[in-house]
Amino acid sequence: MKTNKTILITGASSGIGKEIANIHAERGGDLVIVARSKDKLDQLKAELESKHSVKVTVIVKDLGLPDAPKEIYDEVKKTGIEIDYLVNNAGFGGLGKFHQREWEQDLAMINLNIVALTALTRLFLPDFVKRNSGRILNVSSTASLMPGPLQAVYFASKAYVTSFSNA
Protein backbone atom coordinates (compact mmCIF):
# COMPACT_ATOMS: atom_id res chain seq x y z
CA MET A 1 0.00 0.00 0.00
CA LYS A 2 1.58 3.29 -1.12
CA THR A 3 1.41 6.47 0.92
CA ASN A 4 2.21 10.14 0.48
CA LYS A 5 2.05 10.81 4.22
CA THR A 6 4.91 12.14 6.34
CA ILE A 7 5.77 10.38 9.57
CA LEU A 8 7.77 11.64 12.56
CA ILE A 9 9.41 8.83 14.53
CA THR A 10 11.23 9.27 17.83
CA GLY A 11 13.81 6.67 18.75
CA ALA A 12 14.27 6.04 15.03
CA SER A 13 17.95 5.09 15.10
CA SER A 14 17.40 1.45 16.13
CA GLY A 15 14.92 -1.26 17.05
CA ILE A 16 11.20 -0.69 16.58
CA GLY A 17 11.65 2.92 15.47
CA LYS A 18 14.09 1.98 12.73
CA GLU A 19 11.80 -0.81 11.54
CA ILE A 20 8.80 1.54 11.39
CA ALA A 21 10.97 3.95 9.37
CA ASN A 22 11.86 1.19 6.91
CA ILE A 23 8.24 0.11 6.49
CA HIS A 24 7.01 3.67 5.96
CA ALA A 25 9.77 4.39 3.43
CA GLU A 26 8.96 1.16 1.55
CA ARG A 27 5.45 2.54 1.13
CA GLY A 28 6.80 5.77 -0.31
CA GLY A 29 6.23 8.14 2.60
CA ASP A 30 8.60 10.89 3.69
CA LEU A 31 10.06 10.83 7.17
CA VAL A 32 11.31 12.96 10.03
CA ILE A 33 13.56 10.77 12.17
CA VAL A 34 14.57 11.74 15.68
CA ALA A 35 17.13 10.27 18.07
CA ARG A 36 20.30 11.21 19.95
CA SER A 37 22.76 9.52 17.58
CA LYS A 38 23.57 11.71 14.58
CA ASP A 39 25.72 9.03 12.97
CA LYS A 40 22.98 6.39 13.13
CA LEU A 41 20.34 8.83 11.88
CA ASP A 42 22.54 9.99 9.00
CA GLN A 43 23.20 6.38 8.02
CA LEU A 44 19.49 5.55 8.14
CA LYS A 45 18.67 8.67 6.10
CA ALA A 46 21.17 7.66 3.40
CA GLU A 47 19.81 4.10 3.27
CA LEU A 48 16.16 5.13 3.07
CA GLU A 49 16.65 7.91 0.52
CA SER A 50 18.77 5.78 -1.82
CA LYS A 51 16.67 2.64 -1.55
CA HIS A 52 13.19 4.18 -1.60
CA SER A 53 13.56 7.68 -3.12
CA VAL A 54 11.88 9.35 -0.15
CA LYS A 55 12.76 12.57 1.66
CA VAL A 56 14.19 12.06 5.13
CA THR A 57 14.74 14.90 7.60
CA VAL A 58 17.05 14.23 10.54
CA ILE A 59 16.57 15.88 13.93
CA VAL A 60 19.23 15.05 16.49
CA LYS A 61 17.71 15.59 19.91
CA ASP A 62 17.83 14.05 23.37
CA LEU A 63 14.18 13.75 24.34
CA GLY A 64 15.22 13.31 27.94
CA LEU A 65 15.90 17.04 28.06
CA PRO A 66 12.93 19.19 29.11
CA ASP A 67 12.91 21.53 26.10
CA ALA A 68 13.47 18.84 23.46
CA PRO A 69 9.81 18.18 22.50
CA LYS A 70 9.14 21.89 21.88
CA GLU A 71 12.41 22.25 19.97
CA ILE A 72 11.45 19.32 17.73
CA TYR A 73 7.99 20.78 17.11
CA ASP A 74 9.43 24.22 16.37
CA GLU A 75 12.01 22.78 13.97
CA VAL A 76 9.34 20.84 12.08
CA LYS A 77 7.13 23.93 11.84
CA LYS A 78 10.07 26.08 10.71
CA THR A 79 10.85 23.70 7.84
CA GLY A 80 7.21 23.70 6.73
CA ILE A 81 6.90 19.93 6.99
CA GLU A 82 3.36 18.76 7.68
CA ILE A 83 3.37 15.70 9.93
CA ASP A 84 0.63 13.15 9.26
CA TYR A 85 1.75 10.43 11.67
CA LEU A 86 3.50 10.89 15.01
CA VAL A 87 5.22 7.80 16.41
CA ASN A 88 6.27 8.24 20.04
CA ASN A 89 8.73 5.36 20.21
CA ALA A 90 11.72 6.68 22.17
CA GLY A 91 12.13 5.08 25.56
CA PHE A 92 14.30 2.93 27.78
CA GLY A 93 14.08 0.62 30.76
CA GLY A 94 16.16 -0.21 33.78
CA LEU A 95 16.74 -3.14 36.07
CA GLY A 96 17.20 -3.29 39.82
CA LYS A 97 15.48 -3.14 43.16
CA PHE A 98 13.50 0.08 43.29
CA HIS A 99 15.00 1.26 46.57
CA GLN A 100 18.55 0.62 45.30
CA ARG A 101 18.32 2.28 41.90
CA GLU A 102 19.69 5.78 41.41
CA TRP A 103 16.84 8.30 41.47
CA GLU A 104 18.41 10.16 38.54
CA GLN A 105 18.13 7.02 36.36
CA ASP A 106 14.47 6.55 37.19
CA LEU A 107 13.70 10.23 36.75
CA ALA A 108 15.38 10.17 33.33
CA MET A 109 13.21 7.17 32.42
CA ILE A 110 10.06 9.00 33.54
CA ASN A 111 11.07 12.11 31.59
CA LEU A 112 11.63 10.16 28.38
CA ASN A 113 8.96 7.46 28.58
CA ILE A 114 6.18 9.70 29.94
CA VAL A 115 6.90 13.43 29.84
CA ALA A 116 8.41 13.65 26.33
CA LEU A 117 5.71 11.40 24.85
CA THR A 118 2.96 13.48 26.46
CA ALA A 119 4.56 16.77 25.41
CA LEU A 120 4.97 15.70 21.77
CA THR A 121 1.36 14.53 21.69
CA ARG A 122 0.18 17.83 23.17
CA LEU A 123 2.23 19.79 20.62
CA PHE A 124 1.26 17.91 17.44
CA LEU A 125 -2.35 16.97 18.26
CA PRO A 126 -3.83 20.47 17.73
CA ASP A 127 -2.44 20.46 14.17
CA PHE A 128 -4.10 17.09 13.52
CA VAL A 129 -7.42 18.29 14.95
CA LYS A 130 -7.28 21.51 12.92
CA ARG A 131 -6.70 19.55 9.69
CA ASN A 132 -9.09 16.78 10.74
CA SER A 133 -6.30 14.42 9.78
CA GLY A 134 -3.42 12.73 11.55
CA ARG A 135 -2.55 9.69 13.61
CA ILE A 136 -0.52 9.10 16.78
CA LEU A 137 1.13 5.82 17.69
CA ASN A 138 2.47 5.59 21.23
CA VAL A 139 4.74 2.57 21.54
CA SER A 140 4.07 0.77 24.80
CA SER A 141 4.78 -2.78 25.92
CA THR A 142 3.12 -5.85 27.34
CA ALA A 143 4.96 -4.69 30.47
CA SER A 144 2.13 -2.18 30.85
CA LEU A 145 -0.29 -4.98 31.65
CA MET A 146 1.51 -6.74 34.51
CA PRO A 147 3.63 -6.11 37.57
CA GLY A 148 7.34 -5.74 36.97
CA PRO A 149 9.66 -7.14 39.59
CA LEU A 150 13.00 -5.32 39.41
CA GLN A 151 11.57 -2.93 36.80
CA ALA A 152 8.96 -0.99 38.75
CA VAL A 153 9.42 2.40 37.10
CA TYR A 154 9.71 0.96 33.58
CA PHE A 155 6.53 -1.12 33.93
CA ALA A 156 4.71 1.83 35.50
CA SER A 157 5.86 4.16 32.71
CA LYS A 158 4.55 1.77 30.08
CA ALA A 159 1.26 1.44 32.00
CA TYR A 160 0.99 5.22 31.72
CA VAL A 161 1.58 5.06 27.96
CA THR A 162 -1.12 2.43 27.52
CA SER A 163 -3.61 4.27 29.74
CA PHE A 164 -2.87 7.65 28.13
CA SER A 165 -3.28 6.15 24.65
CA ASN A 166 -6.61 4.58 25.56
CA ALA A 167 -7.95 7.75 27.18
> What is the set of active-site residues?
154
pLDDT in the model for residue 107 = 98
pLDDT in the model for residue 10 = 99
pLDDT in the model for residue 118 = 99
What is each CA distance from 132 to 119, 125, 127, 164, in whole angstroms?
20, 10, 8, 21
Distance CA 105, CA 121 (A): 24
List per-residue pLDDT tens for the chain, 167 residues long.
Answer: 788 999 999 999 999 999 999 999 999 999 999 999 999 999 999 999 999 999 999 999 999 999 999 999 999 999 999 999 999 999 999 999 999 999 999 999 999 999 999 999 999 999 999 999 999 999 999 888 888 889 999 999 999 999 999 99
What is each CA distance from 159 to 92, 110, 116, 148, 155, in whole angstroms?
14, 12, 15, 11, 6
Strand-pair partners of 35: 60
CA dihedral 70, 71, 73, 76 (to 10 degrees): 170
Strand-pair partners of 136: 86
CB 124 within 8 A of CB 52: no
φ and ψ at residue 9, rounded to 5 degrees: -125, 125
CB 161 within 8 A of CB 138: yes
pLDDT in the model for residue 2 = 83
Domain assignments of the chain as residue spans, ordered by start:
6-166
* Matching CATH number, 6-166, of 3.30.1360.120, 3.40.190.170, 2.60.40.10, 3.40.50.720: 3.40.50.720
